[in-house]
Amino acid sequence: MVAALLVGWSGCSPVGGPINHGTGGNAGSAGSGGGGDGSPDLSVDDSGDGGTAYNADFAVNSMCVPPQMATQCDKPIPSNAGCQASEDCGANGMGNGLDDNCNGTVDEGCVCRPGDVEKCFIGPPGRRGVGGCTDGSATCAGNEFGSWGPCIGSIGPQNESCDKLDNDCNGCADDGLCCNAAIDCPAPGDPRIAPKPPYTDVPLKGELFFPGAATSWSWTVVGGPCDQLFYSTTMGHNQSFTLTGANTKDAVAHFTLSGDYTVTLTVVGADGQTYSCTWVQHIIGPGVRFELCWDHSDSEDDIDLHVHKPGTTTAWFSTTGSSSNNNPDDCFYYNCKASEYPTPGTGDPIPDWGYANSAIAQCIGSPEGADWMNNLGACHNPRLDIDNVGGSPGTPENINIDDPKNGDSFRAAVHYYSSSSTTDEHPMVNIYCGGTLKATFGKAPNTLTGFNNGLAYGKGLLWRVADVAAIVDSTGNTTDCTVTAIHPPGTSSGYYTTNNNMSY
């Protein structure tokens, strides 16, 4: 009877027999992913992983009973694939975003420029981009020569689960399991979790992942860089997204900032079993985008984001630095958001930097969206989509240029406009190019200190953050950028802030 049950379900042992996922080597060849004759590794011994930090392969004791199925991995990627004796920092010494020596840390010992952000992967290099494995990001911290911080948001090899996803990233889904998956979890690149632009609703449809009957549904979202640093329910901060219908089959997420958001779906099926999927939702905007947030932001502690026109060096706010007027070379709340946008013919200069307007879809979902549609019928470049004034704590600010020209260099600055207190603020600026986070300034431990005396319009503290040069391909798409931090004159580290000095 047992034999009859096993016919057609290859790779599943009788009751009590162990099955290994087949990613580690055995006595045949350490780390080879199979026996000495090249056959799949079905043993419980996974000692062939070379002693690395990664070992998501382990035995399963079960018997396949219809309608369950078993899958074995004929050519699994070894659990130590790509592992080396030492970390590889590359020709420039700045690392490659991989854990080359497979000790659980990415690019340790490699130097980097403080504020730079790199894509990184926690797992054997040979399993990067396979199955459910997902890149995260690491930020460089330190002084003149920094070191890479932890790789945040990366999903490395996990224990294989019955969910149609290659969790251990060995090249096969649900291998080694007696399994008939009730849930269908997405891997990176799955069209069900395609990247979306900011200010759009992202439908989260449960039936796309769990088509069966269920007794309960639960959705959770973990936010991007600003949420991770500053969000606090006790302080009443806004998150950079809203989630509607968190306990229903079909939820909707609305994202206001760029970044990578971790989404988890948990379902209790009609069979009483709990099923779960976790993936990363990428929120990607075009061109060059600057996003500002800080820890105590509200209408009484007002900090503003500024971006300067390429090729000009006029003073912030004004052309002379001695008065506060509308300088079209400086994009900020006064002239770059739709509700304050200068009316042609009134004498107020328009911040026209030579870029075409974007389609209204690029900003219609933003707080200024209705004004952009009513005032211009399109999204201006440059433009400010979110202004913190009047918002609850945690509301960010951002400035976007959707279609820069290749080589155009933008300088970003942060101005402490006003305050009713002496609270020390800790602003953070995230810089995205072509949808990828390229730099973060102000992130702990490299926080900006002493930023606490907003005085008036065009006065007070000014932090000159960085110069960002766009890299644009022949089709007009921003593919990358070069970010250069601005340090105090005569120094090669630290943040450049001045008081009552609005010079470029």
Q: How confident is the model at residue 19 (pLDDT cuts 50, 70, 90)?
A: very low
The confidence score (pLDDT) of residue 375 equals: 81
Greater confidence (122 vs 301) lies with 122
DSSP state of 196: B
Residue 339 has what pLDDT? 85
What is the mean predicted confidence (pLDDT) over 280-295?
91
Which of 49-58, 376-385, 491-500 shows the lowest per-residue confidence on average (mean pLDDT)? Answer: 49-58
In whole angstroms, what is the distance from residue 89 CA to residue 93 CA?
5
Q: What is the DSSP letter of 339?
A: G
Instruction: List the beta bridge partners of residue 308.
Output: 330, 411
The residues facing 330 across adjacent strands are 308
| Prediction pTM value | 0.84
| Rounded average pLDDT over 467-492 | 96
- Of 295, 334, 329, 324, nearest to 312 by C-alpha is 329
Band of pLDDT at residue 5, cut at 50, 70 and 90: very low
Q: Measured between alpha carbons, how far is residue 195 from residues 203, 282, 467, 498 in Å?
A: 12, 5, 27, 39
Contact between 20 and 176 under an 8 Å Cβ cutoff? The reply is yes
Q: Superfamily for 193-283?
A: Immunoglobulins (2.60.40.10)
pLDDT at 312 over 90: yes
Residue 22: pLDDT over 50: no
Task: Name the maximum alpha-carbon separation found in the chain.
Answer: 92
Q: Are 21 and 175 in contact (CB under 8 A)?
A: yes
CA atoms within 13 Å, Cβ hemisphere of 80: 21
pLDDT at 113 over 60: yes
Q: Among 244-248, 359-363, 473-477, whose mean pLDDT is lowest?
A: 359-363
Residue with tokens 């433009």: 383
Compute CA distances 477 → 287, 405, 480, whole Å.
7, 9, 9
Cα–Cα distance for residue pair 19/72, rounded to 1 Å:
9
Whole-angstrom distance, CA of residue 297 vs CA of residue 408: 31
d(CA 384, CA 480): 21
The neighbour count for residue 491, using CB atoms within 10 Å, is 9
Residue 432 near residue 396 (C-beta atoms within 8 A): no
pLDDT for residue 461 is more than 80: yes
Q: Tokens representing 450?
A: 């002493």
pLDDT for 383 equals: 95
CA distance 134 to 263: 13
pLDDT of residue 196: 94
Q: What is the reported pLDDT for 393?
A: 53
Contact 258, 284 (CB under 8 A): yes
Provide the Cα torsion 323, 328, 332, 337; round to 10°.
130
Q: Coil, strand or helix: which one is 445?
A: coil
What CA–CA distance (Å, rounded) separates 464 from 441? 11
CB 420 within 8 A of CB 442: no
Residue 254, helix vs strand vs coil: strand
Q: Give the tokens for residue 123.
A: 């797992």
Higher pLDDT, 460 or 194: 194
Distance CA 281, CA 264 (A): 10
Query: In this structure, what token pair is assigned to residue 180?
Result: 């008939």
Q: Is the pLDDT of residue 347 over 90?
A: no
| Whether pLDDT at 293 is above 90 | no
Portion of the chain with pLDDT greater than 90, in percent? 56
Average pLDDT over residues 242-271: 93
Residue 212 and residue 270 in contact, taking contact as beta carbons nearer than 8 Å: yes
> Could you tell me the residue ranges of all domains in the chain?
193-283, 288-499
Rounded Cα gap, residues 311 and 70, in angstroms: 63
CA-closest candidate to residue 79, choices 99, 51, 60:
51
pLDDT at 101 over 90: yes
* Tens-place pLDDT, residues 23-59: 333 233 333 333 333 333 332 333 334 445 665 544 4
pLDDT of the residue at 33: 36
User: Over 60: is that where the pLDDT of 344 sits?
Assistant: yes
Do the Cβ atoms of 486 and 466 come closer than 8 Å? yes
What average pLDDT score do residues 244-252 get?
96
Enter the tokens of residue 350: 């328009």
- Which band of pLDDT confidence, cut at 50, 70 and 90, is reported for residue 478? very high
Of 19-28, 50-59, 167-176, 322-331, the least confident: 19-28
Give the tens place of pLDDT for each residue, 150-167: 999 899 999 999 999 999
- CA-based nearest residue to 133, from 145, 114, 143, 119: 119
Structure confidence at residue 16 as a pLDDT band (50, 70, 90)? very low
- The number of angstroms, rounded, from the C-alpha of 396 to the middle of its chain's C-alpha atoms is 16
Residue 106 CA to residue 108 CA, distance in Å, equals: 6
Which of 54-68, 252-266, 275-289, 445-459 is the least confident region?
Answer: 54-68
3-state secondary structure string, 378-401?
A: CECCCEEEECCCCCCCCCCEEEEE
Assess contact for 136 and 125: CB atoms under 8 A.
Answer: no
Which of 30, 14, 118 has its CA nearest to residue 70? 14
Show the tokens assigned to 412: 């970003």
pLDDT greater at residue 112 or residue 255: 112
Q: What is the DSSP letter of 352?
A: -
Q: How far apart are CA 403 and CA 187, in angstroms?
A: 30
The pLDDT assigned to 367 comes to 86
Mean pLDDT for the stretch of residues 185-189: 96
Strands 136-142 and 201-205: unpaired
On the question of a cis peptide bond just before residue 445, with omega within 30 degrees of 0, the verdict is: yes
